[in-house]
Structure 1
């Protein structure tokens, strides 16, 4: 058995030519654009919204289910005892679950948004808009001062993420996590 060399007439394949030399200036690290103040301000707005949600979650954990059922009974809703029991359970569950879901989404997306991830900006805008709508409709269960604070913080955060200074920051970081 013989081996064929690079110039063997029986070997139809030629070796690959050497790669051209690399110019180090072509692969120099491009300095990352500085984070605009608007993105930093939006981040802190989301952190403040998350703090309000933590307070809401604590309030939801302290709800007395019997008091909710009593309030429903006094409202003369016309529900049977079993329906009152289900409605009270649903109210308490939602009072805990909704703030918890929004809290996880906001905290899970605020840090990547601050790092310039466009997907996180979109997630925050969608969930922020949903919470804004629920708060304005009065279904978020927030008192008036808390509702005003939530509306102001969420509105400011969404606007700050999409103003002119923020857009180029997100455009330069469209790849990656």
Structure 2
């Protein structure tokens, strides 16, 4: 092995070590956030049942109900309206179900965007349920209103705000 002209020179010095930035300790998840998470999961479960209910709708039964409601629609219009009704009975709860599941887990982890997402979709579902356009029975409507309202409130009260700010 041959030695070169630089073999005896010292190695260059290492770059200076920066003191590590002290990270704020992660706040423990407050009980209010955990309860809000489970309330959101309960809302998602109710919405899943609603999707299943929409899938079980019979087109002929819907057409018959529209005929009895004396909507003044012709045969082809009744068929189209029944199809639209069934599609919306499945699609609307499915959209809200996806939003609640997509937001619940990140919200529990302290992601503020998820809290906002759940607030927006929860508020919209709350309004639709109160207006009666969600198609839910009165018992289901009352349950949804209570679950959504409590989840939204719990995401903002007590230690919840500090938890989301610390993330």
TM over 0.5: yes
Indicate the residue corresponding to 1:35 in structure 2.
29
Is contact 2:32–2:158 with CA below 8 Å preserved after alignment? Answer: no
Report 1 or 2 for greater relative contact order, CA contacts < 8 Å, sequence distance ≥ 6: 2
Q: Map residues 1-177 of structure 1 onto 2, 5 A cutoff.
A: 19-23=15-19, 26-27=20-21, 30-173=24-167
Residue 86 of structure 1, CA deviation: 1.1
- Structure 1 runs of 4+ aligned residues shifted over 2 Å read 17-23, 26-31
Q: Hey, what's the Cα distance between the residues in 2 that align with 1:122 and 1:30? A: 23
Q: Hey, what's the Cα distance between the residues in 1 that align with 2:85 and 2:23? A: 54
Q: Hey, what's the Cα distance between the residues in 2 that align with 1:164 and 1:19? A: 46
Residue 20 of structure 1, CA deviation: 3.6
Residue 30 of structure 1, CA deviation: 4.1
Residue 28 of structure 1, CA deviation: 5.3
TM-score (structure 2 length as normaliser): 0.88
TM-score (structure 1 length as normaliser): 0.83
Residue 29 of structure 1, CA deviation: 5.3
Q: Hey, what's the Cα distance between the residues in 2 that align with 1:110 and 1:157? A: 10
Residue 146 of structure 1, CA deviation: 0.6
Paired positions, count: 156
* RMSD of Structure 2 on Structure 1 (CA): 1.7
